[in-house]
Structures are given as structure tokens and as C-alpha cells.
Amino acid sequence: MNHYVEKEVKKVDVWKVKKYVCKVKIIDIFTGKKIIVLNEDDAKEHDIYAGFRTQIRHQGESHSAIVDVSKELVKAGEVGVFRDLATAHKLKKGEPIEIVHMDQPASIAYIKKKLDKGTLVNGEIKTIVDDIMNDRLSEIETSAWITAAYINGFSDSEVIDLANATVDSGEQLNLGKKPILDKHCVGGVAGNRTTMIVVPIIAAAGLYIPKTSSRSITSAAGTADTMEVLANVTFDMDEMRSIVLKAKGAMVWGGGMKLAPVDDKLIRIRHPLSLDPEGMLLASILGKKKSVGAQYVLVDIPTGRGVKVPYVERANELGKHFLRVGEKLGMKIEALITDGAEPVGNGVGPALECSDVLEVLGGKGPEDLKHKSLLMAGKLLELCKKVPSGKGYSAAQNILNSGKAMSKFREIIDLQGGNSRVRISDLPIGKYTQVIKCEEGGSIFHIDNKSVSKIARIAGSPRDKGAGVLLHRTRGDRVEKGDALLTIYANSESKLDFAIKAAQNLEVVEMRKMLLGSMQ
């Protein structure tokens, strides 16, 4: 007797469905994806193939999933459910569930339209985003949309539609206050921990700046990784709102809240091939800013050798695009093109970057980090007309020199559950170290961002908060043979050894080459 009960039913939304019942088999593997496994013979009998989309219906709830098939992993009459999916939906071994065979969602046609160089209109992007959020699209289908955006580009209207759909995919922060300021860096520069200096300066000036930041993907540390050395960064929306209303500023991990969650799904798929379609990049950044209610936004576009935007001409184009789209989204944008060819600050890695931040807020610290932070804070003060044009830098400098920025920083640390009395000597710097010395004298021509970040990551950063690289020299410095160039820090001897070998194989510091026969 056939163990399945199959019948035609009416359409659910726009999809035709067939349904049948089978028993749950828990597969004790965490996949991070919503996948079910059907017996190969059963799947063929019911005209279902690998990659098809389904719904699983259990106790009155429906959940989307993608099908895989196997002869050995599940028997006839079983459905294999991976541990994470089973836990999320409280499925138990042997429990009967309905499997609903579903036709392609409408967004597949819109993805094909974009692949054919069409322009998406009238809510088509919103439909794609909704299907991604509801797991109606496989990663292959979502990848096709990203690829289409990468090859064919987005019109401004498509960028705006995606930004708005990104906002609508999650919660929004409503402080009931104005003005709201924010900042963002396009990325690629090691160190560069300006957010942790800019936020307390702006908040000390009496302005609201609810800063959500990311964790590292390929760098040695994201702002959230670095701030986490000093305080908690994982909060829900209500907790963040409370902190910002008290201190006027916060520095939290954006992934800890449901702000623009579709963006996290897109980034995860874009990351393996480093696909950054400009339209998706703008929608991602500006959508997140709109999610926190930002009205005035400073965008830092580091430019130079080895970063995402290598040429000034390209940076100017990108900056104009930010301004144009931002205005249509109701935000006033300032695009700041900065030198990104070398690391900013001395430390690369969470605790080492914290040391730089505390030094700068204390009135000392690396001059490049201090100058860039003051420049950015000053531009924000001018952008929202807190101070007249041309007076922002000096206003930000006065707040820093007065100690108000440090006091505000310690207030934010306290509200985020950290030790507001923290000193540099309290930071968990890695106890295993190795100094890398100069093998020949000369003038330093270039310090490579990617190489520095790679060494820091091999040493254990950002997972090991004390791991990383401390730079002793900057571009243009004159050095002699045997001078210290950098120190590697790690929490274990084995990780330190791996990082040392990496440093020996990478050209971290490039010396200026002298031309033979040069004029005297």
C-alpha cells in the first residue's frame, strides 16, 4: 500500500501545489540552509527533483525549503531534515509532516528579465527580496540575480527600490529625535578605526548617531569586533534605542538586530566571488542608514593601491552616485575621498586597534587616525549645519582636546555593559610576539593593506581579540637594516609560527627602488 496520500489542491497565493505526508528523519548536521532530503525513488514518483522548492507543513505552520534527493540517506516514506531546520521548527523524529510541491515563484521571471538586461519596475525587486527573505529562492537563483546586477548594472530607480525593500525586510529604529547622523566606510583599509572616535565626538556635540557596524569578513577586524573588546555589541532594537536616547550615540553589531536582514543574505552569497555590484553596494549601505533613520550621512571612500576603489576618478563617480541616490531616499550625503593605500593607525586587530582609539581619545595616538577622525567628524558637523562650513575640523578638535569625547566614549561603554574605567594596560594583547625587522636600509614606499590583514588573521584575529599586527613605521620613513618594521601578536605559539611564515612569504613593506645611473 502506498504510504503517501496525494491529491490536487487549490492554489496557494500564486503557486500550484501537490501535497503528501511522510515521516521526519533528523540528520544531525547543521547546514545553515533550509534543505530537506527526499528518497530518490519517492521524489521521482512525485515528479520532484533536486533544487525544487517545497513547503513543509507542521502543526498549522508552513516553512519553505529546497529539496535534495538521496538513495541511501533516507528511506521511502521519510523526509530528511537537518538539525538546524528541525530545531528551528520543533520537528521530532518519526513525526508526520506534509511536503508541499510548489511551482516557481514570480521572482524567477524577474531574475531572467534582469539577466536579459531589462529594468525591473513596479515592485519586481520587492518581490525578489520578499522571496529571498521567505527562502523561496535557492542560492543558485539568488546568485543569478547578483550576477545579473554585476554584469548589467542597476538603474537609479532599481537602486532606490532595492534600498527601500532592504529597509522593509526588517525592523527600523525610530528615536523620535532629529537630526540623526551616520557614517560608513566602503572598506579595504587595515586599522582605520575612525568610527570609535567619530561617534563620541558627534554625541558629545549633542547630536544623535546610532551606529551599527559589521564584523570582519576578510579583514583583521570590523568595528563590532574591536568595540567588543571593551563592551557588549549585541543588542535588540529596544535596547539600542534606550542606549542612544541616553548617550546620543552607540556602537553595536548590526547583525544582532533585524535591521535590513536581506542584506546579510545577499552579502553571504556575494562574498565567495567578491561580487560587489555598485547598485547593490549603494542599496546595502543606504538601506541600512535609512533603517536607523539617518538624515545626514558621511561616506568614506578610501582610494589607492590595493583597496576596493583604486583610482580617484572612480571614487568621484561613486561619490556622485551616493549623493544622487541618497537625495532620492531623503538623505543628505557627503562623500569623502580619502587615502586608502596604507593602513590607518598603528594597530591591526581588535585589542591593538582599541589601544589606538584610547590613545587618540586621550589626546595622543597615531596622527593619521586622529587627523582622519577629526576630518570626518568635522564634515558631519558641517553637513547638518551644527557649525558653519569650514569650521568643522576645529570644532571636532576642540571636543576631542577638551576630554568631552573621551567622557562620552566611556559613557557609551558603560551603557553597553563594559568597564568604563578601562585603561590601555587592561587590554588583552596577545602574549606571544615576534618582531619583523628590516632586511635592508632605505625609504619605505608602500605598506600593503591586504598583507597586513592576512598576517593578523593568520595570527588569530579577530576571533582572538589580542592577535594582530602592530606597525612601527609608515610610508616615507627612512629605515636602516635591523630596524623594527612590525610586531606580530598571537595567543598561541602555533598561530604565531604560522603568522611569521606568512610574513616571510608576503611583501608587507615595499622599499623605494633606486634607479641605476641616476643623476647626481
Residue 77: CATH number of its domain: 2.40.40.20
pLDDT at 2: 37
Please indicate, yes or no, whether residues 445 and 496 belong to a single structural domain of this protein. Answer: yes
Whole-angstrom Cα distance, residue 180 to residue 118?
Answer: 36
From 380, 415, 450, the end of a domain falls on 415
Provide the number of structural domains found in the chain.
Answer: 4
In a domain, 424, yes or no: no
pLDDT-derived band of residue 416, with 50, 70 and 90 as boundaries? very high
Assigned domain for 310 exists: yes
Q: List beta partners, residue 487.
A: 435, 470
The reply to whether 68 and 89 lie within a common domain is yes
Identify the CATH number of the domain in which residue 481 sits.
3.90.1170.30
Read off the pLDDT of each residue in 96-102 and give the average, rounded to a whole number: 84
Q: Residue 494 is part of which domain span? A: 432-511
Give yes or no: 103 in active site.
no
The predicted pLDDT at position 322 comes to 97
Place of cell 515563484: 105
Residue 404 lies in a domain: yes
For residue 174, is it within any domain?
no
165 located within any domain: no
191 lies in the same domain as 292: yes
The set of cell numbers assigned to 482 is 635591523
Q: Is residue 420 part of a domain?
A: no
pLDDT of res. 143: 93
Closest of 283, 300, 292 to residue 193, by C-alpha: 300
Which residues, 6+ apart, have CB-to-CB distance to 88 below 8 Å? none
**What is the pLDDT averaged over residues 448-456?**
97
Q: Tell me the CA distances in angstroms from 300 to 63, 182, 193, 309, one per residue in order.
A: 40, 11, 12, 11
- Active-site position among 103, 168, 276, 414: 276
331 and 453 housed in the same domain: no
Instruction: Burial-class residue 223 by CB neighbours within 10 Å (0-12, 13-18, 19+).
Output: buried
Same domain assignment for residues 391 and 361: yes
Averaged pLDDT, 108-137: 93
Higher-confidence residue: 467 or 106?
467
Tell me, what's the pLDDT at 100?
83
Q: Looking at the structure, tell me whether residues 111 and 96 fall in a common domain.
A: no
Report percent pLDDT > 70 for the chain: 95
Inside any domain, residue 269:
no
Nearest 10 degrees: Cα torsion 441, 442, 448, 454: 0
Q: What are phi and psi of 42, to 5 degrees?
A: -60, -40
Q: Do 16 and 45 share a structural domain?
A: yes
Span 274-287, pLDDT tens digits? 788 999 999 999 99
Q: Residue 516 — very low, low, confident or very high, per pLDDT cuts 50/70/90? A: very low
The answer as to whether 339 is a domain residue is yes
What is the spatial distance between Cα 460 and Cα 351, in angstroms, rounded to a whole number? 12
Q: Are residues 344 and 460 in the same domain?
A: no
User: Which tens digit of pLDDT belongs to each residue from 29-78?
Assistant: 888 778 899 999 888 888 888 878 788 888 878 888 888 999 889 999 99
The phi and psi torsions of 61 (rounded to 5 degrees) equal -110, 150
Is 419 a residue whose pLDDT tops 50? yes
Q: In terms of domains, do 43 and 147 share one? A: no
Lowest-pLDDT range of 33-42, 204-213, 482-491: 33-42
CATH number for the domain harbouring residue 247? 3.40.1030.10
Same-domain check for residues 252 and 375: yes
441 φψ region: left (φ > 0), alpha (ψ -120 to 50), beta (else): beta
Q: Do 470 and 493 share a domain, yes or no?
A: yes
118 and 89 both lie in a single domain: no
The whole model's pTM is what? 0.87
> Are 224 and 338 within 8 A, CB to CB?
no
